[in-house]
Structure formats: structure tokens, C-alpha cells
Amino acid sequence: MLKIAVRTSRRIEETRSILIRGTNWIGDVVMTLPAIAALRRTFPQARISILVKPWVADLLDLCPDVDEVIVYRSPGNHAGFGGLLQLAGELREQRFDAAVLLQNAIEAALIAFLARIPIRAGYNSDGRGLFLTHSVKRTRAVRRIPQVDYYLEMVRTLGCDADSREAHLALTAKDRGRAAEILQSRGINPPSEIVGIAPGATYGAAKKWFPDRFAAVADRLADEFGVRVVLFGSAADRESTMTVCSHARHRMTDLAGETTLREAVALISRCRLFISNDSGLMHVAGALGIPTVAIFGSTNPVTTSPMGENNFIVHKDLPCSPCLKTTCPKDFACMDLIGVEDVYGAARCLITR
């Protein structure tokens, strides 16, 4: 456990308020949830606030281990160096005892430094060691472990109880009621069972399996199990979801770009099965314990697989994969070699357990 004075003679064990700088993307946020839970277990009496960008704030609102979500409005009021100074001033007024920087950027450490938070802890990445009081070495080995464990290792090194990989998301009765309303408005009522599909992905086409193959899998599941298929994604994924719909024999419900993130989480919680490329919503489904078929091409299933016990990873081990490129410079074999039967077989295995 860290032992350092905090304003008075108090040690970090007696910390009363902690600021976490959260990560910026949905999948990354989900993979930090076990580390956030570790901080809560270690500091049960502390007030824990988390600083995040607006597009992931809804997700952290569902985390019971966080007392307050502070929105980092950039673009917006906190954009540019002047906005950064404004944000630091707002945080300074809250007189945090410690900052734990789950985000790796130097900016996170600079904000905590300018906010005069006396304990500033995190990985020593991006040349930010000067701004940290408690620097955790980011070794080559730690960069290769699963992302969930990467964040857990940081807080473990800082003295936290980090033995659990559990992720906590708590939906309210209002959230569940809103999900039911959305489904009913699309003609999906109990006892209909839902299969969710997320055919899009951020950061380029190399993470996307083929829309006609998603459609073929969906049709076979509808034929065999009578499920209703709901397509998920952001507004940027509409082209992908519409193309899946155009190839399908059965009618699908396309919700891409039509829900808030919080609504999407509630809707995913209603799914019997979720099928997805490596995406943020894949991680949400895993954290909710929804059986998930995760399709990996250019990215690394070792480091970014979904959490939970009910997952099936579909991946072809090739010399060029994972390349981590946004577009394939070769023949896209990592995705082309994944056939309909590969994904359907995985889905059928999970749905019949």
C-alpha cells in the first residue's frame, strides 16, 4: 500500500476523495471496470469521481463503484489549452486527495498536476513521469497481457485489492423499462428472444466481417430458433447495418444510431446471444454476461477479448495477424477465411447451452 502524506499527516489508506481519469472509448472503459472495482474495494469510504469524455459518460453512470461522473467537454468548454486550464481549475476546487490515471496520455497527468492533486499515480507512459508522484513501470511484458489485466496490474502495483476481474454495471428498473418500450415500438414483445448483432467497428474496415455473412448467420438462427435479430451500432455504423439488412431473408430491427449508449446497454442486456466484431458493444455484452460470439481479424484476441465465461472467439491464426491496421494491405485473409459455418457453429453452441 502506498504511504504518503496527503495535505496533512493522512496516508493514502485514509484517502477521502479519488479522481480517476477514465479511458476514452467504450471498449476501453469496460476493460477498466475491474480496476475501478478494485479501487472501490480498497477505499470503501472514499468518494470516487471519474473524469471522462461525453460519449462514454452514460456507461460510467451505470458503474456502481463510481460516485460521480465528471464530463471532460473537449470538444467544448474544455478544448484547447485554455479549456484544459479551466478544467484543472474546476477540479482543483474539489480538492481531490489522489488521482489514478487509467488513461495513458500525458494530458491526463498534466491536468492532475495543474489541479494540484497531491497524489498522481499511473503508468509512466508518454513521457509523463515528471507529473506523477507514483509512477508504475509500463514494461514490455505488461503491454502484452489482456487489457483488463493491464489496468488491474497498475492498481495492484499501487497497493489495491486487484484479485477479481468482475465488471460491475447496474441497470435500473427505468433502464429496463425503456428497453422494453423500444422493443415494443418495433413489434418485439415477450416472449420473443433476441439475438443482437453489431456488424460495425471503429478504426477501419479491417475489423469488420462481411455483411452478407452476418445476414446468413442471422437467417439460420431465425430459421432454427425463431429469434428476432436486432442490429446495434452508432450512426457511423448505419451503412454496415443497412447492408446486413439488405442481404437478409428475415426482417431485422436496425437500431444503429437510434439509441443512446445507456439504452443500447439496456437492450443488450435483453439479448439471448450477441454476435460482434471486435467493438465496444462486444465488450459491453461480455461485461453483462451475455453469451457473445466475438469475431477477430486485424486485432488481437489475446489482449482485447470480451470479459466473462460465455464467450466464443472466432479467429484465424495467420502470420500477418494481428496486424492492428485499419485497412488490410493484402488479401483480407484473416476475415475472408472466417466462414458462415464458423460463426453459426459458435452461435449455435452458445445458444443451446
SS (H, E, C) the chain: CCCCCCCCCCCHHHCCEEEEECCCCHHHHHHHHHHHHHHHHHCCCCEEEEEECHHHHHHHHCCCCCCEEEECCCCCCCCHHHHHHHHHHHHHHCCCCEEEECCCCHHHHHHHHHCCCCEEEEECCCCCHHHCCEEECCCHHHHHCCHHHHHHHHHHHCCCCCCCCCCCCCCCHHHHHHHHHHHHHCCCCCCCCEEEEECCCCCCHHHCCCHHHHHHHHHHHHHHHCCEEEECCCHHHHHHHHHHHHHCCCCCEECCCCCCHHHHHHHHCCCCEEEEECCHHHHHHHHCCCCEEEEECCCCHHHHCCCCCCEEEEECCCCCCCCCCCCCCCCCHHHHCCCHHHHHHHHHHHHCC
CATH number reported for the structural domain that contains residue 318 in this entry: 3.40.50.2000
pLDDT computed for residue 13 by the predictor: 59
pLDDT for residue 6: 34
Residues 191 and 153 in one domain: no
* 56/88 same-domain check: yes
Q: Structural domain of residue 285, as residue ranges? A: 173-351
The answer to the question of residue 4 being in a domain is no
Q: What is the dihedral of CA 111, 116, 122, 123, to 10 degrees?
A: 60
Give the pLDDT confidence of 38-63 residue by residue, as tens digits: 999 999 999 999 999 999 999 999 99
> Is the residue at 165 inside a domain?
no
- Calpha distance 143→320 (Å, rounded): 19
Question: Per the structure, how many domains does the chain have?
Answer: 2
**pLDDT beyond 50 at 341:** yes
Of 157, 183, 203, the one marking the end of a domain is 157
Q: Is residue 41 part of a domain?
A: yes
Of the chain, the percentage scoring pLDDT greater than 90 comes to 84
pLDDT > 70 fraction of the chain, expressed in percent and rounded: 96
Q: Do 117 and 240 have their domain in common?
A: no
Same domain, 143 and 203: no
Return the pLDDT at 308: 86
> Given a cut of 50, is residue 10 above it in pLDDT?
no
CA distance 107 to 88: 11
**8 A C-beta contact, residue 298 and residue 320:** no
Shared-domain flag, residues 188 and 219: yes
Same structural domain for residues 285 and 260? yes
* pLDDT for 8: 30
How far apart, in Å, are the Cα atoms of 350 and each of 195, 228, 277, 347? 11, 16, 17, 5
- Boundary of a domain, candidates 107, 133, 157: 157
Average pLDDT, the chain: 92
Report yes or no: 63 and 22 within 8 Å, Cβ to Cβ: no
pLDDT value for 9: 31
Please name the amino acid found at residue 51: L
Is residue 35 a part of any domain in this protein? Answer: yes
Residues 128 and 210 occupy one common structural domain: no
In a domain, 7, yes or no: no
pLDDT greater than 70 at residue 73: yes
- Cα separation, 257 vs 246, in Å, equals 18
137/220 same-domain check: no
**Which pLDDT does position 212 carry in this prediction?**
97
> Is the pLDDT at 12 greater than 70, yes or no?
no
User: Do 179 and 57 share a domain, yes or no?
Assistant: no
| Residue 322: per-residue pLDDT | 87
Average pLDDT for 166-172: 95
State yes or no: pLDDT of 288 exceeds 80. Answer: yes
- Return the pLDDT at 2: 44
pTM: 0.93
pLDDT tens by residue, 62-72: 999 999 999 99
Most confident range (mean pLDDT) of 11-25, 113-127, 249-263 is 249-263
Task: State pLDDT tens for residues 182-214.
Answer: 999 999 998 889 999 999 988 778 899 999 999
Q: Has residue 263 been placed in a domain?
A: yes
Which residues are CB-contacts of 174 (< 8 A; sequence separation ≥ 6)?
Answer: none
Q: Where does a domain end: 130, 157, 184?
A: 157
User: What mean pLDDT is predicted for residues 4-11?
Assistant: 36
Clarify whether residues 178 and 324 are in a common domain: yes
Q: Are residues 329 and 207 part of one domain?
A: yes
Query: Is pLDDT at 11 greater than 80 in this prediction?
Result: no
Let me know whether 254 and 278 are in one domain. yes
